[in-house]
Amino acid sequence: MKEHTVTVTDNRTGEQIELPVKHPTHGPYAVDIGRLFRDAGYFTYDPGFLSTASCQSTLTYLDGDNGELLYRGYPIEQLAEKSSFTEVAYLMLYGELPEKEPLKKFNDVIIKHSMLNESLSSLFGGFYHDAHPMAIMVGVVGSLSAFYHDSTDISNASHREIAAHRMIAKMPTIAAASYKHSIGEPQVYPDNSLSYTGNLLRMMFSVPCEPYKVDPVAEKALDLIFILHIDHEQNASTSTVRLAGSSGANPFACIASGIAALWGPAHGGANEAVLSMLDEIGHVDNIPEFLARAKDKNDPFRLMGFGHRVYKNYDPRAKIIRQMCYDVLEKLDDKDDPTFELALKLEEIALNDEYFIQRNLYPNVDFYSGLIYKALGIPTNMFTVMFAIARTVGWVAQWTEMIAEENQRIGRPRQIYVGPEKRDYVEIDKRQ
């Protein structure tokens, strides 16, 4: 990697500190501060990591100013139009688009791993009857290492690969079983003749006593949404997976930690929160009241599905999914759905509002994904689970990349201590 240096002057002491600056393929130069503490005795401070690159990665590039997203160099628009979820999963794991035979082999491997160990299936019954499916996901995925010991040696490349395949393959089965448990229906075994998303739909919506035909509109829509959600560089859940992985934890535990981080409403939980918010708004006439609340600094309410840490112009995924939202609702003859109408009105009003314009707050991918899920009949509490299925590919690819790195070290941030100064212990009867 090309480098130059930057010299920083300490205005307190007059000392000059020279730091290397790394040149990435795309994106801003990065000052390498790795030796700053050792050489100059300083920490850097960046809560929320607004200016901090936590790693080097070959997977995903996003340009927030120009609304650009690349997976392994390929623009998301091209992959969304021409590729499929499993083909993009292959690209993320192995670095190149596959030819026909390797793709077929990869699909076969994923299909072969889609069943769950039977004792694992019985685990679902132990959860409370109305448990949130994301709570079940965190628990069940975390338990995978108790069933698949033969793929937990992180120093073994073939263990790492099998663990990656297993997680990508089993995530739809676990997701569907979580849902089935929450509605009191029997789990449905995977069907190896179906596509990745066709299989998921069947496991979620079929019952053993009736025939089920996968709806091709729903199958295609899910495949596209999943492509859009595969990876998004060092977001909160991916950084969580990397940090957990840096300690040497097994891959299943690391992905479970990613699922937990994804659940929050500021991250993957936003798609569920958008629908809850639209329900709460209820009618177009109430939009001004909710917009006023979103702008009020004393009110914790935020317009869910708006804003992004990196995209300050537009979210390229939102552009694709917005169009898809129209297409799907049209095909499903659902265009007059009042929630969709309300969402479009809210979008229009917010995009013309000074507060949102000034802060570059645009609808993000999750503003629309929930609307499509709703049209496909997916219940609100499964929205974030859908996100987790797709993002599993990104998590395992990021984890694999990190573990394979030479000189990989445990992630261990420092802090600025602002607590009490050093003081002596006071006996209990002398405290005031």
Which of residues 293, 302, 331, 335 is near ligand CMC by CB under 6 A? 302
Binding mask 248-267 for ligand CMC (x = CB under 6 A): ------------------xx
Q: Which of 366, 381, 396, 400 lies at the binding interface for ligand CMC (CB under 6 A)? A: 366
316 makes contact with ligand CMC (CB under 6 A):
no
Cα separation, 188 vs 207, in Å, equals 7
Q: Which residue has the tokens 């009042």?
A: 338
Q: Which of 113, 223, 308, 315 is catalytic?
A: 308
Cβ distance to ligand CMC smaller for residue 79 or 261: 261
Q: How far is the CB of 252 from ligand CMC (least distance, A)?
A: 22
309 lies in the site for ligand CMC, by CB under 6 A: yes
Binds ligand CMC (CB under 6 A): choice among 128, 359, 405, 413: 359
What distances in angstroms separate CA 93 from CA 26, 42, 201, 367, one per listed residue?
A: 21, 37, 24, 28
Q: In the complex, which residue's CB is closest to ligand CMC?
A: 307
DSSP of 187-208: -----TTS-HHHHHHHHHH--T
CB burial of residue 179 (10 Å; 0-12, 13-18, 19+): buried
From the centroid of its chain, how far is CA 109?
24
User: Binding to ligand CMC by residue 305, rule CB under 6 A?
Assistant: yes
Which burial class, exposed, middle or buried, applies to 232 when counting CB atoms under 10 A from its CB (0-12, 13-18, 19+)? buried
> In angstroms, what is the minimal distance from the CB of 219 to ligand CMC?
23
DSSP 3-state percent helix, strand, coil across the chain (nearest 5) = 55, 5, 40
Among 223, 231, 315, 366, the active-site one is 366
Q: How far is the CB of 40 from ligand CMC (least distance, A)?
A: 29
Decide whether 159 or 317 has the Cβ nearer to ligand CMC. 317
Q: Give the separation between CA 197 and CA 378, rounded to whole angstroms.
A: 13
Check residue 268 for interaction with ligand CMC (CB under 6 A): yes
To the query of whether residue 308 is one of the catalytic residues in this protein, the response is yes
Give, in degrees to the nearest 5, the angle at Cα 359 between 358 and 363. 115
Applying CB under 6 A, the residues found at the interface with ligand CMC are 232, 235, 266-268, 270, 294, 302-309, 359, 361, 364-366
Instruction: Give the residue numbers annotated as catalytic, written as ranges.
Output: 308, 366
